[in-house]
């Protein structure tokens, strides 16, 4: 099984590079399934139904979310009706939408995607470590699913790494999102789970994590929110990972960083 995971789609630049590259890339890499974090896809904050459909048409099978999932109020009805858009599992009870779901890949195999949000330096959410255990108590590799991916949308490296080691050997891949910078630690953990601390951002890297530098610099210098955030809109770079698994175990055999575009060292 081969799965592509793409990091946070940041505004128009992120959507454009995906539209330009993903349809051919999916065929070229013979990917069975594509997942992307879409919580920043609408102008850098939130996502809309229209943008969801645009991204699905590009070849993305599932979109995950995070702390910006609800920035566009209109998304509530759509997330309730379409399981291809997830929100973090450990949002409080009663939150619209789903935090996990089982899908069918193009090769017919079953893929469980779990979306989590961290607690450190974030708003108050339910515990992601106990929330994911409840899902995995009912879902097992090569029992009722063939591939399990966990999107750990979190601020700190330690929280993401702790999650990965806790789930090692029980899921196919744990990948971090949220910080918008691709990390250099793609690896397979001792139990066979693929891991990377952050998949990076699909967006304009001539920026401060997707924001026009002058805006961010001003805020750091003055400690005041004196100007409206302006999101970068230059040429985008596609960032993510490629995960290959053993069909007999569902565990990873390879993980490769994926970077295509300006500013960063390309891997493809």
Show which residues are catalytic.
Answer: 68
Residue 47: closest CA among 29, 68, 28: 68
Separation of alpha carbons 65 and 72, rounded Å: 12
Q: Give how far the C-alpha of residue 255 lies from the chain's centroid of Cα atoms, to the nearest Å.
A: 15
Residue 163, SS3?
Answer: helix
Strands of the chain (E only): list them.
2-6, 8-9, 33-37, 62-64, 100-104, 110-117, 147-153, 173-177, 187-188, 194-196, 201-202, 238-245, 252-260
Q: Which two tokens stand for residue 142?
A: 């090569």
Count CB atoms within 10 A of the CB of residue 9: 31
Residue 31, SS3?
Answer: coil
Q: Which two tokens stand for residue 45?
A: 């904050």
- HSE on the CB side for 179, CA within 13 Å? 19
Q: Which helix (H) or strand (E) holds 215?
A: helix 213-222
Give the distance between the most distant pair of CA atoms in the chain: 57
At residue 214, what are phi and psi to the nearest 5 degrees? Answer: -60, -35
């Amino acid at each position: 099984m081969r799965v592509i995971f793409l990091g946070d789609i940041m505004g128009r630049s992120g959507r454009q590079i995906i539209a330009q590259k993903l349809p051919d890339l999916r065929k070229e890499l013979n990917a069975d399934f594509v997942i992307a974090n879409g919580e920043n896809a609408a102008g850098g904050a939130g996502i809309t139904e229209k943008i969801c459909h645009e991204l699905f048409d590009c070849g993305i099978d599932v979109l995950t979310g995070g702390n910006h999932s609800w920035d566009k109020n209109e998304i509530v009805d759509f997330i309730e009706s379409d399981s291809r858009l997830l929100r973090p599992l450990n949002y409080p009870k009663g939150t619209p939408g789903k935090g996990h779901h089982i899908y069918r890949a193009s090769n017919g195999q079953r893929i469980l995607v779990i979306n989590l949000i961290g607690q450190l330096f974030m708003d108050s959410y339910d515990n992601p470590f106990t929330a994911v255990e409840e899902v995995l108590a009912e879902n097992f590799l090569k029992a009722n699913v063939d591939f399990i991916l966990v999107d750990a949308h979190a601020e700190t490296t330690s929280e993401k790494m702790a999650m990965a080691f806790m789930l090692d050997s029980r899921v196919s891949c744990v990948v971090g999102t949220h910080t918008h910078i691709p990390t250099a630690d793609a690896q397979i953990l001792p139990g066979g789970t693929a891991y990377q601390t952050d998949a990076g951002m699909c967006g304009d890297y001539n920026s401060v994590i997707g924001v026009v530098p002058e805006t961010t610099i001003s805020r750091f210098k003055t400690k005041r929110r004196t100007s409206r955030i302006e999101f970068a809109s230059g040429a985008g770079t596609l960032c993510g990972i490629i995960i290959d698994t053993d069909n007999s175990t569902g565990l990873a055999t390879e993980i490769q960083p994926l970077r295509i575009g300006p500013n960063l060292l390309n891997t493809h």
